[in-house]
């Protein structure tokens, strides 16, 4: 086994740990609220069978599904994988902490940089897109806006019928209560 294989296994183990935690947290929050699977399904718009599979750790929810469940439960995505934190003078988030790595697959990698519990109503993520990678999102709640700064490469942002291509150093704000996507528009990782 070479170093690349070991990194891949660590990444998979970290992602598996975060997924297990996410699935368990959804079940814990639902049962704490004394909601049935049907109630969470009706509130979130996610099917009862999908929620059941998530809670039994049979499937890994997509970003969009997890977001809809979080909205229904009245928590942020970060709160689905975070423990409740007491406020301290300094809170650090280590780059390799699996609790903040939300998703990692061939199309994109998503990591929380600044969870909502640190600043109400605002979350920061790091999104990595391999060549041809993309993150597709359904509309979020009314009034949601997303902000994007490109660190390297080139990306195409599409929100509704609007589109912009951004290069390293460029930033954009867009309506996220519309169907939207972020796509790698270059040849290397973005």
pLDDT of residue 89: 55
pLDDT of residue 125: 76
Q: What is the pLDDT of residues 129-171, one digit of tens each?
A: 999 999 998 888 778 888 888 889 999 999 999 999 999 888 8
Instruction: Give the chain's residues under pLDDT 50.
Output: 1-15, 84-86, 118-119
Assign domain 98-184 to a CATH class: mainly beta
Which residue ranges make up each domain of the chain?
A: 3-81, 98-184
Please state, rounded to an integer, the average pLDDT across all residues of the chain: 78
For residue 166, how many C-alpha atoms fall within 13 Å in the half-sphere facing its CB?
22
CATH architecture observed for domain 3-81: Orthogonal Bundle (1.10)
Distances (CA, A) of 39 to 36, 43, 58, 83, 156: 5, 6, 20, 24, 37
Q: Nearest-CA neighbor of 11 among 102, 114, 115?
A: 102
Dihedral (Cα; 101, 96, 119, 146), 10-degree rounding = -50
How many whole angstroms separate alpha carbon 153 and alpha carbon 129?
Answer: 9
pTM beyond 0.85, yes or no? no
């Amino acid at each position: 086994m070479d170093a690349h294989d070991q990194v891949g296994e660590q990444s998979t183990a970290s992602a598996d740990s975060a997924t297990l935690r996410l699935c368990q947290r959804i079940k814990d929050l639902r049962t704490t609220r004394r909601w049935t699977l049907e109630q969470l399904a009706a509130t979130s718009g996610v099917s009862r069978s999908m929620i059941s599979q998530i809670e039994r750790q049979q499937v890994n929810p997509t970003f969009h599904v997890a977001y809809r469940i979080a909205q229904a439960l009245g928590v942020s995505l970060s709160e689905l994988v975070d423990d409740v934190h007491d406020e301290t003078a300094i809170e650090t988030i280590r780059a390799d902490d699996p609790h903040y790595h939300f998703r990692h697959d061939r199309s994109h990698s998503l990591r929380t940089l600044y969870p909502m519990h640190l600043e109400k109503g605002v979350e920061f993520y790091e999104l990595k897109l391999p060549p041809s990678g993309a993150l597709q999102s359904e509309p979020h709640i009314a009034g949601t806006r997303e902000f994007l700064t490109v660190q390297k490469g080139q990306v195409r942002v599409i929100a509704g019928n609007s589109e912009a291509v951004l290069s390293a150093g460029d930033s954009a704000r867009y309506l996220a209560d519309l169907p939207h996507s972020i796509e790698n528009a270059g040849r290397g990782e973005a």
